[in-house]
Amino acid sequence: MTVTTEMKSRLIEEIQEWKIKRNAVLLAHNYELPEIQDIADVLGDSLALARAAVTTDAEVIVFCGVHFMAETAAILNPEKTVLLPDLEAGCSLADSITASQLREWKAQHPGAVVVAYVNTTADVKAESDYCCTSSNAVDIVRSIQEDQEILFLPDMFLGSFVKKETGRENMHIWMGECHVHAGIAPHQVETVITQYPEAELLVHPECGCSTSSMYLMSEGVLPEEKTHILSTGNMLKHSKTSSATEFIVATEVGIIHQMEKQNPDKRFIPANREAICPFMKMITLEKVLAALKENKHVITVPPETAKKAKLAIDRMISIG
């Protein structure tokens, strides 16, 4: 069914009413549908949303993102109600490693410190020493003693980026990937750069083109001053402060909505127009309203798992 402008307005009005009734806050990721981004109380990347979940006074957190994000909010707020409007909103990257696989990997490297990207399940976080996001992964790895062996998981592209930035030879990387970011290929980026030679290139470190972008920068193929490997939050900051008027964006295309809102006089070109995460597009206005009215769907984490996972998450929030 097509949702008309009038229907959207009514839905938004009703959502605002129910937010007041429930003393609820709406947190949304930068990749969500435009109409979800527009009604969010807090819009951001995983780190910003985790910090917002800690500081909110609301009794109910409606998380417009994917399952692992809602789990993280539930771990940080055991006394609050955390709702995920669609239980099917998962993550291919989080699915690329299980807790049992991590335990096996740890057994092969006794004494290693485990750094887990926040895109992981609560069970995996509970087996980890640190969590990180793309915006503070380098800072977290640098905070660990240089002679300490590190297991970094699950994203191989982010891991490769962090390893290069820190120069850590004793860092092992799990071979997982986000299928959307992995699909942004180097040849696609090079084609768009040829079409827009004056544009700055903004690359998310999860992308399949991130490693090649670093290599091409070192070889002088990509101009270093115009190529930036950034988290989604830092992409937004950079696009606001840069004097450039055109940007090629190598990440999930949902972020371009916010970029265009914040910079109406600038142009943003997706490196791959098909880089769309189906999980991030599952949450709609209708589902947000149903979550508030019907308490759908409450996300909980077993206390023992939450206790262990919280140690790693707290370290993530405190660094970078």
- Name all contacts of 157-163 with Cβ < 8 Å and 24+ positions apart: 157/181, 157/182, 157/205, 157/206, 157/207, 157/208, 157/210, 157/211, 158/117, 158/134, 158/205, 158/206, 158/210, 160/210, 160/211, 161/137, 161/205, 161/210, 161/211, 161/214, 161/229, 162/137, 162/138, 162/205
CA angle centred on 235, ends 232 and 236, rounded to 5°: 95
Q: Is 117 assigned to a binding site?
A: yes
Q: Is 232 assigned to a binding site?
A: yes
Residue 137 structure tokens: 């992964």
| 140 within 8 A of 148, measured Cβ to Cβ | no
Please give the Cα distance from 115 to 151 (Å, whole number): 6
Q: Is 257 assigned to a binding site?
A: no
Contacts of residue 24, defined as CB under 8 A and 6 or more positions apart, other chains included, come to: 18, 58, 59, 60, 61, 62, 292
Q: Is 207 assigned to a binding site?
A: no
Q: Is 238 assigned to a binding site?
A: no
Residue 200 structure tokens: 């700055």
Q: Is 206 assigned to a binding site?
A: yes
Q: Is 179 assigned to a binding site?
A: no
Q: Is 29 assigned to a binding site?
A: yes
Contacts of residue 169, defined as CB under 8 A and 6 or more positions apart, other chains included, come to: none
Q: Is 263 assigned to a binding site?
A: no
Q: Is 239 assigned to a binding site?
A: no
Please give the Cα distance from 168 to 222 (Å, whole number): 24
Nearest CA to 153 out of 218, 105, 207, 223 is that of 105
Q: Is 205 assigned to a binding site?
A: yes
Contacts of residue 107, defined as CB under 8 A and 6 or more positions apart, other chains included, come to: none
Annotated binding site: 29, 46, 91, 117-119, 134, 178, 204-206, 232, 277
Annotated binding site for iminosuccinate: 29, 46, 117-119, 134, 204-206, 232
Annotated binding site for [4Fe-4S] cluster: 91, 178, 277
